[in-house]
Amino acid sequence: MITSPPAPLDPGELDALKERARGLRVSIVTMLEAAKSGHSAGPLGMADLFAALYFKLLSHDPEQPDWPNRDVLLLSNGHTAPVLYAAMAHSGYFPVEELGTLRRLGSRLQGHPERSALPGLENTSGPLGSGLSQGAGYAHVIQHLDHRSDRWVYVVMGDGELNEGNVWEAAMYAAKYELGQLIGIVDRNFIQIDGDTEDVMPLGDLAGKWTAFGWHVMEVDGHDIAALVDAVNAAKAETSRPSVIIANTVPGKGVPFMERDHTWHGRVPNAEQAAEALRALTDSGVTR
């Protein structure tokens, strides 16, 4: 069953979201340089998506992290935590200044999210491939036990983690139980730690795979915020099956010397590189 989606973004709102994404990228570079370890390419590539989620799409309340009417966002590819932390801080879950504690001993902001460490974190993630199973279970409870039709579960995944069989078991489960309130988002940036995804373990016709598993599939430019918002609205309008959005992104987006270079998957900038990256982000104004 398909219902009517809400109206698209107006130009002023779109520009504000683009500026939000740029701000997230600035925070990502700054916190990674301070931490001296972590992952750069993926978080930078997902900044537009997280700006759209936290500042437009998610129903959430930073002052009530456990608000019972909230939507749920599960980060499956936990190593991209800097973009999640940046979005949460800029939303008001904790002070932006705390981003400077990333990966420090005793910090609430560890290299992979720990659910009990920070209000607003919905899952602990690190081992890849588990997020969609968590999301499917959560969506099943919302739909079939709580009988709620006004909450959605979002699961953000990396394309490299689709090598994990657990993802496809969860995909079958979600289709079987018609989990229309489950929205998967794949960061399709074509890199993983050892190189190009199509060299390491080819995903081939990724949209065709999800379609064959019974999902409603959309593919968009992951840096086109308006397209991301439209895709999520279309997913929410499809109530009889789960939806997946394949978001094609550029790893390292916004920092020219990092873009499309898989070696930045698990590297961070030194002080000189961070300064160059911040200059590029400042000169660029809003994204796109």
pLDDT tens-place string over residues 52-73: 999 999 999 999 999 999 999 9
213-244 pLDDT per residue, tens: 999 999 999 999 999 999 999 999 999 999 99
The chain-wide mean pLDDT, for the chain, equals: 94
- Taking residues 129-143, what's their average pLDDT? 97
CA distance 98 to 29: 14
Using 50, 70 and 90 to split pLDDT, how confident is the model at 252? Answer: very high
In whole angstroms, give the CA distance from residue 245 to residue 61. Answer: 24
Residue 5 pLDDT exceeds 80: no
Mean pLDDT on 105-133: 94
- Set out the domains of the chain in order of their start, with CATH numbers: 11-284 (3.40.50.970)
- Give SS3 for 80: helix
pLDDT class of 193 with cuts at 50, 70, 90: confident
What is the tens place of the pLDDT at every residue in 156-187? 999 999 999 999 999 999 999 999 999 999 99
Residue 285 banded pLDDT, cuts 50, 70, 90? low
Task: DSSP letter for 115, please.
Answer: G
Percent of the residues in the chain that have a pLDDT greater than 70, as a whole number? 95
Q: Residue 50's pLDDT band (boundaries 50, 70, 90)?
A: very high
- Nearest CA among 67, 93, 47, 69 for reference residue 251: 47
Burial 142-171 (b: 16+ CB within 10 A, else e): bbeeeeeeebbbbbbbbbbbbbbeebeebb
Distances (CA, A) of 44 to 4, 184, 223, 247: 32, 19, 11, 14
So what's the pLDDT on residue 87?
98
Listed in sequence order, the residues at least 6 apart from 73 whose beta carbon sits closer than 8 Å to its beta carbon are: 53, 58, 60, 122, 154, 156
Average pLDDT over every residue of 91-98: 97
pLDDT confidence band for 129 (50 / 70 / 90): very high
pLDDT band at 4 (very low <50, low <70, confident <90, very high): very low
